[in-house]
């Protein structure tokens, strides 16, 4: 039976996904759905490096700048919104092309999301108190006894995730690892193709430096200054560039230091993204060569699709 296609184009920050995606979308009759946890926010076009107005005119983009920066937006809501858009695109005869670097957003689309277990403030407060009194290792050992699979994946110092895993077990009566296995993804219903971009380390770092310079030249300081006049959601505040410039605005360090921190934190984020994607064996890697144009790279991906 013929399956409808869903395409993913993933990769680290500043690698050039947006430009390549536009060329690819033109070739495969696609529209682009953002797979980025920061680009959903409104009034953050520069700090989140949203696709340019020219790129958005060439190809229709979805889930860009749709949420106020003061609002929280989570993976469950993203999955619901993205799948609604997918179905609309299929009815129009278009291919959904997901583009971005947020591994968790990619995962909830492809693999599904496990049944929601509501937060329990009483259980969480009790566990937080145990953490304060007895330390990280105590809670991690406790998790090892009831959910060894999760304990292997979660570092003892990651107290937030340890507490959440214990909370789920105590609330649902089942390990979070078992609930995650019950997720239903899109593989059975659609033909899912996943590509990720990469480049030599120094080439990627050069792209990051160029991206940061472009952000400042485009008005990053004024954008972040305006944003910080309002209460930002926890997620929006984590956008690289916001916290670093806040320190500069508060007189904690110079503008040059703020730029250095943004470049450094962008490099660290790129490393985390690559680490996440390398664990997924379904991904086909596209290595970008020096001076290779977006259209050429899109053509390489297109050849692997058909």
Q: What is the mean pLDDT of residues 179-185?
A: 70
Whether residue 33 sits in one domain with residue 126: no
Per the structure, how many domains does the chain have?
2
**Please, what is the end-to-end C-alpha distance for the chain in angstroms?**
17
Whether residue 195 sits in one domain with residue 69: yes
Which pLDDT tens digit goes with each residue over 42-52?
A: 999 999 999 99
Whether residue 243 sits in one domain with residue 157: no
CATH number of the domain where residue 157 is located: 1.10.20.140
Half-sphere exposure of 139 (CA within 13 A, CB side): 27
Whether residue 107 sits in one domain with residue 59: yes
Q: Which pTM value belongs to this model?
A: 0.83
Whether residue 191 sits in one domain with residue 155: no
Task: Give yes or no for residue 112 having a pLDDT over 90.
Answer: no
Helix axis angle, 255-278 relative to 242-249, nearest 10°?
160
Which pLDDT tens digit goes with each residue over 132-174?
A: 999 999 999 999 999 998 898 898 988 888 998 898 889 878 8
Whether residue 153 sits in one domain with residue 17: no
Whether residue 257 sits in one domain with residue 211: yes
Whether residue 208 sits in one domain with residue 91: yes
Host H or E run for residue 193:
strand 191-198
Whether residue 234 sits in one domain with residue 170: no
CATH number of the domain where residue 294 is located: 3.40.50.300
Whether residue 161 sits in one domain with residue 28: no
Which pLDDT tens digit goes with each residue over 33-92?
A: 999 999 999 999 999 999 999 999 999 999 999 999 999 998 889 999 999 999 999 999
Q: Which of 181, 197, 221 is the last residue of a domain?
A: 181
Whether residue 196 sits in one domain with residue 84: yes
Which pLDDT tens digit goes with each residue over 243-300?
A: 999 999 999 999 999 999 999 999 999 999 999 999 999 999 999 988 899 999 999 9
Q: Which domain holds residue 162?
A: 121-181
Whether residue 291 sits in one domain with residue 217: yes
Task: Give yes or no for residue 301 having a pLDDT over 90.
Answer: yes
Q: What is the mean pLDDT of residues 230-242?
A: 95
> Alpha helices, DSSP H only, in the chain?
17-28, 53-58, 75-91, 103-110, 121-134, 136-146, 148-153, 159-172, 176-181, 201-217, 220-227, 234-237, 242-249, 255-278, 294-305
């Amino acid at each position: 039976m013929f399956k409808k296609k869903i395409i993913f184009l993933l990769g680290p920050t500043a690698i050039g996904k947006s430009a390549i995606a536009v060329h690819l979308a033109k070739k495969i009759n696609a529209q682009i759905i953002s797979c980025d946890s920061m680009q959903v926010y409104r009034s953050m076009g520069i700090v989140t490096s949203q696709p340019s107005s020219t790129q958005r005119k060439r190809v229709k983009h979805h889930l860009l700048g749709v949420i106020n920066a003061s609002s929280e937006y989570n993976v469950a809501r993203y999955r619901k919104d993205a799948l609604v858009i997918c179905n609309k695109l299929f009815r129009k005869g278009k291919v959904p092309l997901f583009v971005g670097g947020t591994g968790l957003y990619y995962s909830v689309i492809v693999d599904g999301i496990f049944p929601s277990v509501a937060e329990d403030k009483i259980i969480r407060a009790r566990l937080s108190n145990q953490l304060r009194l007895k330390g990280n290792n105590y809670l991690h050992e406790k998790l090892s006894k009831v959910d060894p699979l999760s304990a292997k994946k979660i570092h003892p110092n990651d107290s937030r995730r340890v507490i959440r895993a214990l909370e789920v077990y105590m609330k649902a009566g089942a390990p979070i690892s078992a609930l995650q296995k019950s997720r239903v993804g899109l593989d059975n219903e659609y033909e899912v193709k996943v590509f990720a971009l990469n480049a030599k380390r120094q080439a990627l770092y050069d792209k990051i430096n160029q991206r940061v310079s472009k952000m400042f030249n485009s008005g990053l300081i004024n954008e972040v200054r305006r944003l910080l006049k309002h209460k930002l959601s926890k997620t929006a505040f984590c956008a690289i560039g916001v916290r670093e410039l806040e320190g500069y605005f508060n007189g904690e360090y110079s503008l040059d230091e703020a730029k250095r921190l943004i470049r450094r934190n962008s490099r660290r984020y790129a490393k985390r993204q690559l680490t996440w994607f390398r664990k997924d064996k379904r991904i086909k890697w596209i290595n970008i060569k020096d001076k290779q144009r977006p259209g050429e790279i899109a053509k390489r991906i297109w050849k692997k699709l058909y």
